[in-house]
Structure 1
Amino acid sequence: MSNADINKVMMKVSISLNDIQEFFPEMQRQTGFYYQSIAKEKFLNFSNQLGKGQIYNLHLRDGIELYLQDWNLEENLIIKANTKYSSLGLGFCLSGNLEAEVIGSKVDLSLTAGRNLLLHSNAYKATMEIPARQNLFLVEMSIDSQIIKSIVEDECEQIDYSLQSLIECQDSKIYAWSGITNPAMKIALNQIINCPYKNLTKHFYLESKTLELVSLKLAELTDSKTENKIYKKLRADEVERIYFARDVLISNLENPPSLLSLAQIVGLNEHKLKLGFRQVFGTTAFGYLHQYKMERSRLLLESGLMNVTEVASAVGYSNFSHFTAAFKRKFGINPSALKSRF
């Protein structure tokens, strides 16, 4: 293909940003995409001749932004961004691939399906290429470092030194941590994409899921120093035992075994069960159990077959107020308020 032919199928956008909020109007100005802003939501819809798709942004609260990007272009798109603000970003690629790099640096920002990237970015220049005729779907979030610091709390000393530095705002360099999107992350991503709520409930729900994803990613970095060697030693039969442990837990919601008892049941030592469970499911054994209880209770309430008290009992809560508090922390709404909608 000649250079002239390449130019015909390549669309280029060059953006200089002082603030992330400039991205949408700048993209509209340079591409002709339709831009709409309603309250705390922004939409950038692609024109038919360039392809199909949408970039959606929700301002969750000061310091937290959520983005859903669905690209299906007829022409390749290259975006050159001169970013002049500082942020901590986390991106997940669900399909397609994104080629991106920091200009003048070895930092690779590329993403492929099933992978994620945590990035600390001060002022920098980057180029991104979005190939045509593919469905690229990204879920991204921008988080203030002080919010990250509050999540990490006392475990900061266990994290990679460079991540400690950026959380403490002591380092002006650019760092990127790439990883595989684990099952727990996939569950939260699916819940974000298929959010069942509207208005204020939607807002609270998406904020909780965004912070959950950040926490899961930080858990990888927190544990990486002690767990990586163990992960490499897990055999296929040990992974099967981890899944067996999961099944034992969810089969005994009302009276789950202790971690030691669970390890004895599945034939692993307690230490390997703990580390293996985090490797396979991206969270602790009882963190997974709590997540399972909450998701099951939501589904039961939405089914309309049980009242709130019955649901609480079905997922193993003997104390109704404890169930209500846990449900509200997870979804940002009281279970009785959700029940009344169905």
Structure 2
Amino acid sequence: MRVAIGGVDPMLTPLNEVLERVDNRLLSPEADVRIWGTGFPLLDDALGGGLRAGTLNLLAGSQGEGKTTFALQIARQCAKAGQPVVFFSFELEAEVLVQKMIAAEAADHAPHSPASVYQVRAAFEGTDGGAGGLPERLSRYNGGLDALASVSEFAPRLHVHRSTTTSTNLDVIARTIKEVMVQHGEPPLVVIDYLQKVRPREQMAEEQAVTHVTERLKDIAIEFECPVLSISASDRAGLEPGQRMRARNMKGSTALAYEADVVLILSNKADIVARHHLLYAANNGANFREYSVLTVDKNRSGRTGAEVEFRKQFTSGRFVPEGSVVSEDLVDERVFVE
């Protein structure tokens, strides 16, 4: 965060300082982390390495497609890599997010029949039929104890802010980020779940409010030199059958697509694959429903249009990170086949 010195505008940078800063970073890469890996290799490749400092990244998709799961998986990956994270959760309690992370870690440690989200939840609530604390209860499930140890190791770096529409405004978000920066000595990955729940300080109409919040989140990313990853709801057109969701379908304002540096769209593969694949695939393509297609709808730092598929493992609170490039033809009209 820049501070004015001697009346000089802190946002005014001579190019010689830019060259010197880049040279110092290349000589000491550990001193200035500029890219946050997502943990999804093909997505990182499409984004030029991952999420970049000073960028606003939007993740959109229809309801139930796993947006929170995807964002939480990125947050977990960054925390495991040693980077601080602050997750503003308007939707879920911190305990629920931890349960999903433990189940996801269990799947990493025990690929065959790992502890599920439901089993981890029962252990947390003491309704699993076991006894003792978390270690004793989770040790009954494949990968459970290793998952708890792994989450415990990176837990100090992952901060969950239980956010509400009445109390968590832009000032609170900025202040919280600053506190996390002071604690860790470096900028964090900032996750907002989700953007349309953030309210400006003053009362505004919905479209005006979304525009203001979007612009301010972009300012926050630049000011704190961190990536902001925000989930975005879709509008009615993006939710109704008959149209594949695009950046223009994000709810509230055209500023969402304009201000964002990266726009990612999650879609159910069965809804957007071309009809002939459904007709000639086994079981009319029922297996397509096991995959989400992530489309890079906008990318200021690299190529746009990349389409990568990831297998859903929602019982383990995650996507399988080793995805693949979509080989089938995709369409903008959702297709339903009996």
TM-score between the two structures when normalised by the length of structure 1 = 0.25
Larger Rg: 1
TM-score between the two structures when normalised by the length of structure 2 = 0.25
Pick the structure with more strand per residue: 1
